[in-house]
A and B are shown apart, each in its own frame.
Chain A
Amino acid sequence: MSDVHPAQDQSDPRAEAAALRERLARAEARVADLEAKLSDAIDYCVALERLHGASDHAEVLRAVQDVVINLVGSEEVAIFEAAAEGGWTAVQSFGVGAARTAAVAEAHGPVDRAGAEGTAWIAGDGSGAPPGDPALTACIPLVAEGRAVAVLAIWRLLPHKPRLRDSDRHVLALLGRHAGRALLLTRRAGRARAA
């Protein structure tokens, strides 16, 4: 006869089942995390492909807008370039009218500050002065050769999207680095062709 008390039996099937359920839950959480990372990675690849696959200046602008609408999730977006007479001019926009773009492009406004400082402003980050337009979500300088060649402004996100995620910030940072360069190079190429 065994002198091991049933309660002390180390092969308790209930304990084993509980441990297995816990392992399964951790594995499922890990899978979900990896799937989210994969989706984010696809976003980054798509954004890069769109920017570097664009053949001219206008197509780069459209690509940036398209990335913001479909990967970040906003249908209120504008891209500003430096005007010859100073200040910033909206050269591409979706979902926002001339009055709203002009308002944020005023001297010392959010677009001007992002362009001058080369620093992104994102609502809720606690950095920089208030934007003036409460619907503004982000102003992202698109930088090349150490200066902002354009500024991307994003107003309201889609209704089902309460805020920017970390992966959205990565996409915007990616746009900041690569879209600026693409815009500068395609602008120069266009001028060279016209000359």
Chain B
Amino acid sequence: MGARISCQIGARPVRVALARATHEDGRVVTVSEAGGRRLTQRKKILLVDDSSTVLLFEKMVLSKEPYELVVARDGQEGLDKAVAERPNLILMDVMMPRMDGVEATRRIRAHGEIARTPVILVTTRGEPEAVATGRAAGCSDYVVKPIDAAELLSKVKALIA
């Protein structure tokens, strides 16, 4: 009466090895390998803007991707957090109190430990002169407000692929 059914699932034990990897910019991160597949930390993006609207927009666009998001509300805080957090990318507004985005970008480029961090300037000014000023300060790319979500995502991915 009744039946006993058993099954056996074949499984190979998986060794998880921890290793430390050094990025090009000198950051050392811990990565793990499981079953031959490399697991890495999420990319970190620093959002620097004094506008709650822009920060909310950027978070909504980027939250669907595997990014860790950090926020700063002005250029000085952005610079401080860039040093503390070592993001993979910085989205930097231009017009901000305390320190504007162009100056913050210059200081990032002059700071040895974070000098190579990609910076995308987010600006209401798309005129050639404004773009040239941003490039001269060392920005990697720029987006013009109002921000287009697809364009933002495309430029972010291009810089931290």
Contacts and interface: CB of A to CB of B under 8 A. Distances in A.
Given A50-B52, A66-B51, A160-B126, A71 B57 contact: yes
Interface in A44-83: 45-47, 49-50, 63, 66-67, 69-73, 75
A46 B55 CA distance: 10
22 contacts: A32-B150, A35-B150, A36-B150, A42-B57, A42-B60, A42-B61, A43-B146, A45-B60, A46-B60, A49-B56, A50-B52, A50-B53, A50-B56, A63-B52, A66-B53, A69-B51, A69-B53, A71-B146, A75-B124, A158-B145, A159-B126, A160-B127
B113 interface: no
A67 B126 contact: no
Interface of A: 32, 35-36, 38-39, 42-43, 45-47, 49-50, 63, 66-67, 69-73, 75, 158-161
Contacts of B146: 43, 70-73, 161
A149 B60 CA distance: 30
A67 B144 contact: no
Interface of B: 51-54, 56-57, 60-61, 124-127, 144-150
A153 to B, nearest CB: 19
A71 B53 contact: yes
Question: SS class of chain A's interface: helix, strand, loop or mixed?
Answer: helix
A38 B56 contact: no
B61 A63 contact: no
B73 to A, nearest CB: 13
Contacts of A71: 53, 57, 146
Contacts of B52: 50, 63, 66
Given A50-B52, A159-B126, A35 B149 contact: yes
Contacts of B149: 35, 38-39, 42
Contacts of B125: 159
Interface centre among B51, B61, B126 (most CB of A within 10 A): B51
Given A38-B150, A42-B60, A66-B52, 15 more contacts: A32-B150, A35-B149, A36-B148, A38-B149, A39-B150, A46-B57, A47-B53, A50-B52, A50-B53, A71-B53, A73-B124, A73-B145, A159-B125, A160-B126, A160-B127
A62 B146 CA distance: 17
Nearest to B144: A160
